[in-house]
Chain A
Amino acid sequence: MISIAAFWILSAVAVISALMVVSARNPVHSVLFLILTFFTTAGLFVLLGAEYLAMLLIVVYVGAVAVLFLFVVMMLDIDFVELKQGFMRYLPIGGLVALILFGMFIMVTSARIEAKIDPNMLASPTPDVSITSNAKAIGEILYTNYILFFQLAGLVLFVAMVGAIVLTLQHRQNVKRQSVTAQTARNRKTGVEIAKPKTGEGVSL
């Protein structure tokens, strides 16, 4: 009973806050609503018995991605009013695509109800929570059955790293850099020059 009530509350909040993400005027509010969406979705995961995924969602998406978004939104001077200008013009075609997609989703979801999955077919069935926790169950297959994909994911991150450096790193030529050796090697002779100006005349430096 409680779980049903929780489901309705969480999903209602998730849908409304997702709507607010795209419709809020202030981009900072958008990001905050995004965080709320992530939290409620994490709640839905808990209801499904996937507590590890719920934690992951909060740690990765709220902790890293959304905060990064917030920084970007605050640091970049993007004119969001201007970005939204084409909204009315693209609404008919965009709305049509959204409507068709929505119809398709309903078709697929209704097909899900009658579909039966053969339990013998399951790739790696989730063990009951009373036997092992989710995190342990994922860990047991991630580093054995799916070791290849674990390594490939490492390679994808490596490509992202190399790519980011290639596209952004600049070695500027005409920039003064701190040189600690030069600073500590400085002595009175090289650092100070005492001039004795005569009255009425300047000093040539």
Chain B
Amino acid sequence: MSIENISKQLPFIIPEITLVFGAMVAVLIGAFAGKKSYRAVNYFAILVLLAAGFASVKHSIETPTLLFNGSLVIDNFGSFAKFIISAVSAGALLLSIDYLEDRNIQKPEYPVLTLLAVVGMFVMVSAHDLLAIYMGVELQSLALYVLAAYARDSQKSSEAGLKYFVLGALSSGILLYGASLIYGFTGTINFQKIASLSANANVGVIFGMVFVMSGIAFKMSAAPFHMWTPDVYEGSPTPSTAFFATAPKMAATILLARFCFEAFGPAIAKWQQIVSIMAILSMFIGAFFALQQTNIKRLLAYSSIANMGYALVAIAAGPVFGPSALLMFVSIYALSGVGMFAVVLSLRSEDGRKIESIPSLAGISRKHPMIAIAFTMFLFSVMGIPPLAGFWGKFEVIKSVWNGSHLYLAIALILASVVSAFYYLRIIKTVWFDEPKMEFAGGLAATSISVKGTAILFALLMPFIGLLYTATLVAGNMFK
């Protein structure tokens, strides 16, 4: 591959280049101007993220194009996912601005690390060989470990960072070991070439496939690889948690879909059962363990595990019916996830402390009706109440497994949704009908207007998000 060849491929990765360039500029501003530039760097990073998302949609192409010797693929599926990822990351970054200042850990590195993590996610989303998987995952997770431990003076945050790092390193090792097995048995790392061999794959290749899938399942916190999620979500600074629960999950699910559909498309019988088992486990573990939680961040962690189960159902539906349902579901999940965390972040008690336990949410509807309405919208949406977005996401997923004739998955999904509706409804009851136990800070301080704004903005999106449907249909059609 000559230099001309390389430069010819650069226009296709403009979104990634935008992000990397933005991160470099941001780190320079941060290095020279120090803490003063915190806000400026944040707003700059948000602009860069939006520009990258816009660029990925604008430069999306109908026919899938392979780049860099078949390492990356640029297609509608990936471009759509990139757009959503950059949108929710921008939302999560917006949430972080006031929170970090409140806790006196405002440093311009936070947006820089977010940008670099998003670069990793972009690589994951358009990965087309095993090396791209590993590099993308590693770039993403390494930045996330630091974001988890960002409040370094807090014991809980350090614990979260360490736990995430140790378990994440283990899972990266598993992923890499699987990749080496696949490479050792097929002699290639390219998805297309692996697919041509995977129809009658050797036991070694299947081993490798299982290992790689486990590694990715860890990153998307699907059961039985979910153990780290509640602790990490609880301990990390809340804006970091908002980020963890949305963008990386989306990237990891898309990556798993790509790996299953593109690299092991012909071996569907081999991975379908694994994905189905993980889906059922995640849905029920997420639903039942969330029942006992009193901390809202832990509850949202289990809720995210359950939601990853629903996403896995869409993957289990196979390459024909799955992709558009998957895109629709995870996009809606990611957008409402950011919104829910925006609500959690916008609440504080009179003495300025953040509120994290569910009983202390009692009666916020009286002081802050807007926040309460937004929160209710999100909860109804993730529950799957008809006019709201979450319903259409789940509906598409059920339709996809129905068409793929995996009825038991559809039934499991509905059962798990019913169980999880219980704890979502319990929060709604606490918010609207319980007597307030403590005073909330009057009228939300002026500093958190961005947080409140994000919450309401994303809540407004909820009824209209069904419009995504056509876009996901187009984007998901490529595997047919």
Interface residues of A (CB under 8 A from B): 104, 107-108, 111-112, 114-115, 117-119, 121-123, 144-149, 152-153, 155-156, 158-160, 162-163, 165-167
Contacts and interface: CB of A to CB of B under 8 A. Distances in A.
Given A108-B207, A112-B204, A148 B71 contact: yes
Contacts of B161: 167
Interface in B112-134: 112-113, 116, 119, 123, 131-132
Given A117-B186, A149-B71, A163-B142, A111 B204 contact: yes
A10 to B, nearest CB: 21
B113 A163 contact: yes
A177 B204 CA distance: 61
B107 interface: yes
Interface stretch (B188-196, B319-327, B394-402, B465-473): B188-196
Nearest to B27: A162
B116 A145 contact: no
Interface string B351-381: 0000000000000000000000000000000
Interface of B: 1-2, 6, 20, 27, 67-69, 71-72, 107, 109, 112-113, 116, 119, 123, 131-132, 135-136, 138-139, 142-143, 145-146, 149-150, 152, 161, 181, 183-190, 193, 197, 202-204, 207
Nearest to B161: A167
10 A-B pairs with the lowest CB-CB distances in the bound complex, closest first: A163-B146, A117-B187, A152-B135, A148-B68, A145-B69, A111-B203, A144-B1, A111-B204, A122-B187, A166-B109
Contact of B185 (A112, A122, A155): A112
Contacts of B143: 159, 163
Nearest to A167: B152
A167 B204 CA distance: 41
Contacts of A162: 27, 109, 112-113, 116, 146
A118 B1 CA distance: 23
B164 to A, nearest CB: 12
A156 B123 CA distance: 12
Given A159-B113, A162-B27, A144 B187 contact: no
Contacts of A111: 185, 202-204
Contacts of B193: 121
A121 B187 contact: yes
Given A156-B139, A165-B109, A149 B132 contact: yes
Contacts of B109: 162, 165-166
Given A156-B138, A160-B142, 12 more contacts: A108-B204, A115-B202, A122-B187, A123-B189, A144-B6, A148-B132, A155-B139, A158-B116, A159-B142, A162-B113, A162-B116, A163-B146
B138 to A, nearest CB: 6
12 contacts: A107-B203, A108-B207, A111-B203, A111-B204, A122-B188, A123-B187, A144-B2, A148-B68, A153-B135, A162-B109, A166-B107, A166-B113
B472 to A, nearest CB: 28
Given A121-B197, A156-B135, A166-B107, A108 B181 contact: yes
Contacts of B2: 144
Contacts of B72: 148
A162 B145 CA distance: 12
A32 B411 CA distance: 57
A119 B188 CA distance: 10
A123 B190 contact: yes
B36 to A, nearest CB: 14
A114 B131 CA distance: 26
The listed residue with most B CB atoms (<10 A of its CB), out of A104, A153, A159, A165, is: A159
Given A144-B1, A166-B107, A112 B116 contact: no
A73 to B, nearest CB: 19
Nearest to A151: B20
B361 to A, nearest CB: 32
Contacts of A114: 202
A161 to B, nearest CB: 10
Contacts of A145: 1, 68-69
Given A148-B68, A166-B113, A156 B142 contact: yes
Contacts of A144: 1-2, 6
Nearest to A123: B188
B69 A146 contact: yes
A3 B198 CA distance: 35
Given A147-B68, A159-B116, A115 B185 contact: yes
